[in-house]
Amino acid sequence: MTKSILHKSPRNRGNPTLKNQRSTKEKKMVAWDKAKGKQSTGSNQRREIERLTLPIGDTKVRLIGDVMPRYCYWVVTTEGKKMPVECLQFSRETESFDNSADDPFKEIDEAIYSDKPQFSYVCNVIDRSDGKIKLFDLRSTIYSQIVDYATNPDYGNPASDADGYDITIKKEKTGPLPQNVKYSCLPARNNSPLSEAEKGLELFELAKIYKRQTYEEQKEWLMKNTSYFAGDVSDEFKPAEDVDDLA
């Protein structure tokens, strides 16, 4: 029996079927003047982070999900950017400090950097002004008031899906400086379950956004991006404000 080698023979380069196959492939190409440039794949697209801002006056929110405990040092990079760096002596699990834990900041000469880590707890909230999920960088005074309500049996957990409640945060000026503000929290009169639409809102993944560095990773980052391990630094590289100044 003779095997057909039609698809392998060089004499069949004019075969209509092969021409159609090449034509199909060519149609998948894009003209240079119509090219869109580099595109991100769906799985790698980064979601833009939206943060809750607190203007003077009332801001109503609904806490949703858990809170992430953190304390951060505020550093100034060699490029002049102010950035938070998590304190490794503070445990997220126990919400307490362990002074025996390794911390690169404790190896820096106090004459160069001696700032204390700042309260930097963060959580997801629904901003009632637009219904969007936003990250809320909690102030310590706001956090303390919320915890007081959450641990009071007359109110309970404000982030509960079934019987949580909205909280109105009032911001008042108390002086001329940016940090001269006072916060007070007022829970809603009635508990209200989250709607099905609200339950389906996509939360920001706090564990991914605020990935905790190891001691080695943090020290390497500090050595590459700050001047704190390079001996004396000029005043321009020393933080002049703390996180509360960003109120």
pLDDT, one tens digit per residue, over 144-169 is 999 999 999 999 999 999 999 999 99
What confidence tier does 47 reach under pLDDT thresholds 50, 70, 90?
confident
Buried b (16+ CB within 10 A) or exposed e, 211-243: eeeeeeebbebbeebbbbbeeebeeebeeeebb
Name the residue among 208, 234, 237 with its Cα closest to residue 222: 237
Alpha helices in the chain (DSSP H): 16-26, 140-150, 196-199, 206-209, 215-225
CA distances from 144 to 56, 68, 74, 203 (A): 20, 14, 22, 23
Say yes or no to pLDDT of 2 above 80.
no
Provide the whole-model pTM.
0.75
Say yes or no to pLDDT of 3 above 50.
no
Q: 218-234: per-residue pLDDT in tens?
A: 999 999 999 998 754 44
Say yes or no to pLDDT of 23 above 90.
no
Two tokens, residue 164: 């949580």
